[in-house]
Every structure is written in C-alpha cells, then in structure tokens.
Amino acid sequence: MPELPEVETIASGLWPMLAEQTIEQVTILNDSSVEGRREMLEKYVAGRKITHVHRRGKLLLMDLSIPERYANELPVPRSEYPLQLAFHLKMSGRLFVYPAETEPARHTRIIFDLSNGTRLFFDDMRKFGFCRALAPCDYLNWQFWQQLGPEPLTIETDDFVALFRSRRTRIKAALLDQKVIAGIGNIYADESLFRAGIRPDTPSNEISKKSLAVLHIKLKEVLKQAIRECGSSIRDYRDAHGDAGAFQNNFLVYGRSGQDCRVCGEPLTTEKVAGRTTVYCKTCQK
C-alpha cells in the first residue's frame, strides 16, 4: 500500500498536469470504487476547477473551486456541496493523466474528463481503493477522517514523544495505527525503527523520552529521503508519470529477511508484529 512518501510523490507529480483544469465529466465504471454519496461525485464535481493537489496521511486530495455561476446560490446546501476529492489508493490504486480520447483500460474504475482534453483515470486492479467527494458535512461525519492522527513531518518532537509515551502498545503497532500518527506503513516503520536503534516489539511507554525523540528525527529523515527518491516500488506502485520509485534500493531492513545486517553483519530477525512481517536486527536494535 502506498505510504506517505508515495502519495506525496504522486500528488506533486499530478499537480502540474491538473493545475486549474476544470473537470468536465465524471464517469463511474465501478460502484465499489466510490465511497460516500455517489450523487455528489456524479452530479456536483463536473464543472469544478482543480485548485490544488496535496496529501493528508495516505489520502490524496484534490481541492475544488466553486463555479462562478454558483457563487451566490448552490444547487444543494453549502454543507453538502463537495469541496475536495479524496482518493485512497490502498493496494493497487493509480492515478494517471492520459491524452484525449484514450479508452479506459481493463482496471479503470473512474474517469475524469478535463477541460484541456486530457483524461484522468483512477485505475485499481484489486478494487480496494476508492474516491470520495468531500463536502463540509463529510469532514464531521466521516469517521476515518475524524480519527486521522497528526502528520509525522509537522508534529513537534515534544508532542511526538508525549503521544507515544502514553501508549502501552508495541512501538511498531503504534506507528502503524493511523489514529495515532498518519501516513506510516510497514516499510517506513521498519526503516525508521532500525535507524533509531529501537526493537519494533518494545512497548511504547517503556521507551525513554530521549529514544522517542531520536525516533521522530529518524522517521522524518527516512520519509524525506523517500520523498526525494520518489517513494518505494515493491510491486504495484508507480508515480504520476508511471515511473518506479528508488528508495527500495536503500532498504536497511524491510524486505531483507534472512540477509545480513548492513551495519553489524549479523543475520536479521523476522517476526510478526502487529500482524505484519517485521524485519529487524537484534544487535543494532536493543
């Protein structure tokens, strides 16, 4: 599943291609790829200009303008008029911009026809991903959105430390919990815990404040490096231009089960933590 660096990379790649483009038409090819109220996406997104593409946690967000013809009176109450499109790519979701008249592929789920003639396709082989049109009322009613934790790149270190010191769950489980902190998945949890020298099965409240502060620093380092290298491509992930990421070439532990540690040379250990395959070094991570 694309994590924070992958979604950030996709958003920054899409923005130059979508900036100020008006969505002329929305065609839904698969009902399960729409979350929330289908009529909002189908009826009230056409005619809207894309004013920004960005990210919140693992969600890719597209901000929408309010058309001039609706400046004073909207076709539905303002609280129900969509302001954003939210995409969760899950395991295999992709967003690509194609030339005019490009026909949908086998796994295309939603088509957005744009004012410059191009077409934005939401493709999703496994059908786990979704698009949701967000109106003001949805921010209050969508539990997933309401429960998203703070962003790891912007939270202050003291707040990060306090957040994890108050929890008894194992540190990797806490990092993976989107209600605790948003955007972290298996890859960047393993990599940041290794760089911080913390075993992934350690209870969060047993880790010193100093070590948690180091973890926050290392987590930000890993995320920023991954963003610079356009994310990690393991299987399905590609950026907005169809290119693979490069951070997988720098993995120190993730996906290296049975191999030697690149720091100390000892064999890496593999266990299940929080239901996820976890690779770490017993020597480097005390």
Is 140 within the bounds of a domain?
yes
- CB-based contact 222:192 (threshold 8 Å): yes
Which CATH number goes with the domain that contains 47? 3.20.190.10
pLDDT digits (tens, 9 = 90+) for 258-284: 999 999 999 999 999 999 999 999 999
Q: Are residues 29 and 130 in the same domain?
A: yes
Q: Are residues 70 and 199 in the same domain?
A: no
Owning domain of residue 218? 157-280
Residue 74 predicted with pLDDT over 80: no
Place of tokens 């491509």: 233
Would residue 200 show up in a list of annotated catalytic residues for this protein? Answer: no
DSSP 250: G
Q: Which residues pair with 98 in a beta bridge?
A: 119
- What Rg, from alpha-carbon coordinates, does the chain have? 21
Q: Are residues 137 and 171 in the same domain?
A: no
Which CATH number goes with the domain that contains 261? 1.10.8.50
Token code pair at residue 206: 């047993």
Q: Are residues 168 and 137 in the same domain?
A: no
The Cα–Cα gap between 144 and 133 comes to: 14
Question: For residue 272, which phi and psi values (nearest 5 degrees)?
Answer: -95, 125
C-beta neighbour count of 260 within 10 angstroms? 12
Q: Are residues 62 and 169 in the same domain?
A: no
Token code pair at residue 88: 């969760």
Q: Which of 55, 58, 195, 199 is catalytic?
A: 58
Question: Residue 69 — pLDDT band, cuts 50, 70, 90?
Answer: low
Question: Residue 156 — pLDDT band, cuts 50, 70, 90?
Answer: very high
Helix (H, G, I), strand (E, B) or coil at 3: coil
Q: Are residues 136 and 190 in the same domain?
A: no
pLDDT digits (tens, 9 = 90+) for 230-256: 999 877 788 888 888 899 999 999 999
Is 151 within the bounds of a domain?
no
Q: Are residues 17 and 138 in the same domain?
A: yes
Q: Which of 88, 117, 146 is the last residue of a domain?
A: 146
Q: Which of 146, 174, 197 is the last residue of a domain?
A: 146
DSSP state letters, 134-188: E-HHHHHH-HHHHT----TTTS-HHHHHHHHHT--SBHHHHHH-TTTSSS--HHH
Is 82 within the bounds of a domain?
yes
Is 119 within the bounds of a domain?
yes
Domain count, the chain: 2
Is 170 within the bounds of a domain?
yes
Is 152 within the bounds of a domain?
no
Q: How confident is the model at residue 73, as a pLDDT?
A: 74
The Cα–Cα gap between 217 and 39 comes to: 44
Token code pair at residue 204: 């969060």
Residue closest to 280 by CA, chosen among 158, 196, 178, 218: 196
Would residue 3 show up in a list of annotated catalytic residues for this protein? Answer: yes
Would residue 276 show up in a list of annotated catalytic residues for this protein? Answer: yes
Q: Mean pLDDT throughout 186-210?
A: 98
Residue closest to 192 by CA, chosen among 250, 258, 270, 265: 250
Residue 286 predicted with pLDDT over 80: yes
Question: What's the 3-state SS for 15-70?
Answer: HHHHCCCEEEEEEECCHHHECCCHHHHHHCCCCEEEEEEEEECCEEEEEECCCHHH
Q: Are residues 113 and 185 in the same domain?
A: no
- CB-based contact 88:122 (threshold 8 Å): no
Q: Which of 101, 118, 146 is the last residue of a domain?
A: 146
Is 286 within the bounds of a domain?
no
Q: Are residues 89 and 134 in the same domain?
A: yes
Residue closest to 196 by CA, chosen among 205, 208, 184: 208
Would residue 179 show up in a list of annotated catalytic residues for this protein? Answer: no
Q: Are residues 53 and 74 in the same domain?
A: yes
The Cα–Cα gap between 255 and 253 comes to: 6
Token code pair at residue 20: 């100020």
- CB-based contact 273:200 (threshold 8 Å): yes
Question: Residue 155 — pLDDT band, cuts 50, 70, 90?
Answer: very high
**Mean pLDDT, the chain, whole residue set:** 94
Helix (H) or strand (E) holding 277: strand 276-280
The pTM of this model reads 0.94
Q: Are residues 271 and 200 in the same domain?
A: yes
Q: Are residues 95 and 56 in the same domain?
A: yes
